[in-house]
Every structure is written in C-alpha cells, then in structure tokens.
C-alpha cells in the first residue's frame, strides 16, 4: 500500500488527463461535428444510429479484451504497461481526427472507435491501480478526487476549445470547423502531458514474479477461468456487478448521446456547449460532496440516490422541448454523475481481493462496456424505427429501474467479509 499524497494525487491526475477526451470529443464536439460535417446533416436519425453503433462497437471491443488483459496484468505486474499502451492508442487516434476530411464519416467513426478503445481500455488499468494507492480509509476520497479532477480538467480544456470554436479569429484560426479539428489535437496533447505523473510517481505493487509475455498469455487464460469461479463464490461481487451492468449503462448512454439528443431536437450548438460546461463545473464540487454524503447516509444509499436522480432526469428528458429544459437537466446530471461513478468504483474496491485487482477490474470494466453496448444501440435503434428520439430517451429509464432494484440486494459488509476470507485462504 502506497497511500501517500504524491502517489494518489498523481493517480488522480490521470483522470484530469483523459477526461479531456470524454468532454471535448465524446460528449462535446464529435457528436456535433459528426452530424454536421462528416455525415449527412439532413438525416439526423441515421447519424444518431451510426454514432450509437460506433459507441457500441468500441464497447464490445473493450469488453471482450478487459477480463483477459486484466488477468495478464496481474500475473506479469504489467498494469502500468497496459495503461501506457491504451493511452498511447487513444492519444494517436484522437489527434488523427484532425486529418479526416468533410464527408468522410466512415474514417471519422473508425478513428473515434479506436480512440474510445484507448480511453476505455486504459481505464481498466487506471482503476486497478487504486487499491495499491489508497487505504480502505481513504479509497472513497481518492476515487472521488480522481473523478472530481477529471471534471475540472476536462471542463477547463473544453472551455478553451469552446472559445476557439466561437471566436476563432481571436486565436488566429480560419473558421469554426478548423477550430474543432484543432480541439481534437489539443485533447491529444493534454492527455499525453498530464498522463506523465502516474507513470513516474505511482508504483505498481508486485504481487507475482515477472513472467514473459507468452507465458503471461497462457497464465492469463487460466486465471481468467479462475476469476469466473471466484465470482461465483464471492456472491456479493456478482450481485453488485449485475446491478452495475444496468445502471451504469444508463449513465454512459446519457453521457455519450446527450449532445446528439440536443442536436436532433433542434437546440442551438452554443446552448449544447454551455450545458456541457455546466455539467463539468457543477460535477467537480458535487463529486467531492457526494463522498461526504456517503459518509453520512452510507455508500449504498448514496449510490441509490444517484440512480434515482438519473431516473428522474431520463423521465423529464422525454418531455424536453425548450433550451432551458436542457439546461436544468444538465445541472441535474452534474449533481449526480461524478458521485455515482466514483462511489461505484470505491464500493467495488471494498468487495474484491486486492491481490487480483486488475483481474477483477477487468470484469468490472467488461460489464460496464457490455452495458454501454445496449444503451446507445437501444436508443439509436428505437429512434430510427419510430423516427422520434423521445422514445429512445425514455427506454433508458428501464436500465435505472433494474439496476436500482439489484443494488438493494448488495450487502457490503458481507462482501467485505468474503473478500477477507478469500485472502486468508
């Protein structure tokens, strides 16, 4: 256990680094640019379908790799190596969006899928370093610090990118389209530079002796099969993962598709951008406050509060007609988004054996990404079939209802007891 300020701040700073992709690219400019620059702006429903499909493909790729890579990382003490590899892929593909010309939606979606794989794949190994960085006493705070810094850092760069887009002449940029393409390059640079501290100052616990990559693959497959057996015995982990699978799908779908929804409903681009900035800067303090809130009401009740909040947001989203409606919902998302993500991660950290953190976080991210296959695809398909995105929005409510119901059945104390008994074997 490292548990020093330098270590956990360096760990949390990676969230500051890669959240620029989540804000400027995934939630912000890519959906707008994809609809109006790379694809057919006259066919909104079709572009919603393609964007949802692209998100789903990226999620499938990460989900398929996650548990296997996590097992290898534990065996070969290679969490930081895999983190570097995926971060590098994300940085290169994000910067590569600069080169995609107007109308080339196929290339744009390919680069986006690969960048998203880099973003999501890197998070597996970033998350798996948490048990070695923070003690049980500090894990809720450190996890929340990561998400909080992510919202702040992502928000700051996004604000700069917005100014570049709205006032390109002030930055010596030819036009708004060029500004957006430069924004993608700025994300790549930001992501690369602020990733440096985690590689320099976070030490990876050496649980196993180093082994070669070929042997790691063989051991990884065997360990993966063992993880499935372990989850069957650690029943609380299994129940939580099942609950997480549903409710985080709803969260991720709203994050990835919110701007697409706004564009489809005819809201002005500037209003959508303002709403995204609201989410970032509201989420920063609220994520840290949510950690304190969980200390008062309990970890599970705090997460349940977030699920219910998102349920209300989704229900109200069906009736959204005015720009100010979108602003209100953006503010509500800012209240709950960071809290539900950070506390879910810290709750899972409590339930798993620390010596197999990458392996178990591989499953955690696998389920999260498989869940993210269902939501965007479901929303995109229902929108395409009905020709009305409101029905697509309402369908997401089902995910929060099922996830909340299953979370009620999670006994945290029993789960912690099972994890300790596992380590004692």
Mean pLDDT is lowest, of 82-91, 239-248, 265-274, 365-374, for 365-374
Q: Is 52 a residue whose pLDDT tops 90?
A: no
The dihedral formed by the CA atoms of 223, 224, 226 and 230, expressed in degrees to the nearest 10? 130
Mean pLDDT is lowest, of 20-34, 45-59, 317-331, for 45-59
Q: Is 408 a residue whose pLDDT tops 80?
A: yes
pLDDT tens digits, one per residue of 300-315: 999 999 999 999 999 9
More confident residue, 316 or 371: 316
Mean pLDDT in residue range 24-40? 83
Q: Which long-range contacts (CB under 8 A, 24 or more apart) does 392-396 make?
A: 392/48, 393/261, 393/314, 393/317, 393/318, 394/314, 394/315, 394/317, 394/318, 396/250, 396/253, 396/254, 396/314
Confidence bin at 76 (pLDDT 50/70/90) = low
Q: Six-digit token pair at 356?
A: 């197999």
For the chain, give the percent of residues with pLDDT over 70: 87
What are the boundaries of each domain within the chain? 5-198+211-424
Q: Is 101 a residue whose pLDDT tops 80?
A: yes
More confident residue, 345 or 255: 345
Mean pLDDT is lowest, of 88-92, 197-201, 232-236, for 232-236
The CA distance from 151 to 170, in Å, is 26
**Radius of gyration, CA atoms only, the chain:** 20
Mean pLDDT over the full length of the chain: 84
In terms of phi and psi (left: phi > 0; alpha: psi -120 to 50; beta: otherwise), the region of 202 is beta
Contact present, 142 and 8 (Cβ < 8 Å): yes
Q: Give the CA distances from residue 101 to residues 15, 65, 330, in Å, rounded to whole numbers and listed in that order.
A: 30, 31, 31
Domain 5-198+211-424 is classified in which CATH homologous superfamily?
Answer: MFS general substrate transporter like domains (1.20.1250.20)
- Position 401 scores a pLDDT of 94
The CA distance from 305 to 332, in Å, is 12
Confidence bin at 291 (pLDDT 50/70/90) = confident
pLDDT tens digits, one per residue of 372-400: 667 777 887 888 888 888 888 888 998 99
Tokens 């997460």 — which residue?
303
In degrees and rounded to multiples of 5, residue 107 shows phi and psi of: -70, -40
CA quadruple 248, 386, 314, 259: dihedral positive or negative?
positive
The CA distance from 128 to 357, in Å, is 5
Of 202, 163, 161, whose CA–CA distance to 182 is shortest? 161
Q: Six-digit token pair at 83?
A: 């983190």
Angle at 163 between CA 38 and CA 339, to 5 degrees: 85
Mean pLDDT is lowest, of 113-117, 126-130, 220-224, 237-241, for 220-224
- DSSP for 284-296 reads HHHHHHHHHHHHH
Q: Is 332 a residue whose pLDDT tops 70?
A: yes
Tally of helices (H runs) and strands (E runs) in the chain: 18, 0
């Amino acid at each position: 256990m490292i548990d020093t300020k330098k270590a956990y701040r360096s760990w949390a700073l990676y969230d500051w680094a890669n959240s620029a992709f989540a804000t400027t690219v995934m939630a912000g400019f890519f959906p707008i640019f994809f609809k109006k620059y790379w694809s057919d702006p006259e066919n909104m429903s079709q572009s919603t379908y393609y964007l949802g499909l692209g998100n789903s493909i990226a999620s499938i790729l990460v989900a398929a790799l996650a548990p296997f890579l996590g097992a290898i990382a534990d065996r070969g003490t290679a969490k930081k190596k895999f983190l570097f590899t995926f971060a590098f892929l994300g940085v290169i593909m994000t910067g590569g969006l600069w080169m995609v010309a107007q109308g080339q939606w196929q290339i744009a979606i390919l680069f986006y899928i690969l960048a998203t794989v880099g973003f999501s794949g890197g998070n597996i190994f970033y998350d798996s370093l948490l048990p070695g960085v923070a003690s049980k006493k500090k894990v809720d705070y450190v996890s929340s610090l990561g998400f909080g810094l992510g919202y702040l850092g992502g928000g700051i760069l996004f604000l700069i990118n917005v100014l570049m887009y709205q006032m390109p002449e002030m930055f010596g940029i030819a036009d708004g389209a060029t500004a957006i393409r430069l924004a993608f390059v700025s994300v790549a640079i930001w992501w690369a530079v602020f990733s440096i501290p985690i590689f320099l100052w976070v030490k990876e616990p050496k649980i196993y002796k180093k082994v070669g990559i070929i042997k790691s693959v063989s051991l990884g497959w065997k360990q993966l099969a063992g993880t499935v057996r372990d989850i069957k015995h650690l029943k609380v982990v299994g129940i939580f993962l099942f609950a997480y699978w549903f409710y985080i799908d709803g969260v991720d779908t709203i994050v990835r598709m919110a701007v697409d929804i706004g564009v489809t409903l005819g809201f002005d681009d500037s209003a959508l951008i303002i709403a995204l900035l609201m989410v970032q800067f509201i989420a920063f303090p609220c994520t840290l406050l949510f950690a304190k809130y969980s200390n008062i009401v309990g970890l599970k009740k705090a997460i349940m509060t977030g699920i219910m909040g998102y349920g209300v947001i989704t229900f109200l989203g069906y009736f959204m007609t005015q720009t100010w409606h979108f602003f209100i919902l953006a503010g509500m998302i800012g209240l709950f988004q960071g809290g539900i993500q950070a506390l879910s991660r810290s709750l899972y950290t409590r339930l798993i054996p620390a010596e197999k953190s990458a392996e178990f976080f591989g499953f955690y991210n696998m389920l999260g990404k498989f869940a993210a296959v269902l939501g965007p695809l479901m929303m995109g398909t229902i929108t395409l079939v009905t020709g009305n995105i409101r029905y697509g929005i309402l369908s997401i409510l089902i995910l929060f209802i099922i996830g909340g119901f299953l979370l009620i059945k999670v006994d945290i104390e029993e789960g912690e007891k099972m994890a300790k008994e596992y380590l004692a074997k």
